[in-house]
Amino acid sequence: MTKILILGANGRLARNTTRFFLETTDVELKLFLRQAKRLQNPDPSRVEIVEGDVNDMAGLRRAIAGCDVVYANLSGDMARQAESIVAAMHDAGLRRIVFVSSMGIYGEVPGETYHSILDPYRDSAAFIEKSDLDYTILRPGWFTQDRKVSYQLTRKGEPFVGHDVSLDSLSDIIVKLSLDPGLHVRQSLGVSSR
pTM above 0.85, yes or no: yes
Per residue in 15-45, pLDDT tens? Answer: 999 999 999 999 999 999 999 999 999 999 9
Angle, vertex CA 179, rays to CA 178 and CA 181, nearest 5: 80
Asked whether residue 82 carries a pLDDT value surpassing 90, the answer given is yes
Indicate which CATH number applies to the domain containing 163: 3.40.50.720
- The total domain count for the chain is 1
Per residue in 113-159, pLDDT tens? Answer: 888 999 999 999 999 999 999 999 999 999 999 899 999 999 999 99
| Residue pair 92/66 in contact by the 8 Å Cβ criterion | no
Task: Note down the domain range covering 89.
Answer: 3-193
Task: Band the pLDDT of 160: cuts 50, 70, 90.
Answer: very high
pLDDT cut 70: percent of the chain above it: 100
Task: Band the pLDDT of 163: cuts 50, 70, 90.
Answer: confident
Element (H, E) at 28: strand 28-33
Buried b (16+ CB within 10 A) or exposed e, 149-175: bebebbeeeeebbbeebbbbbbbbbbb
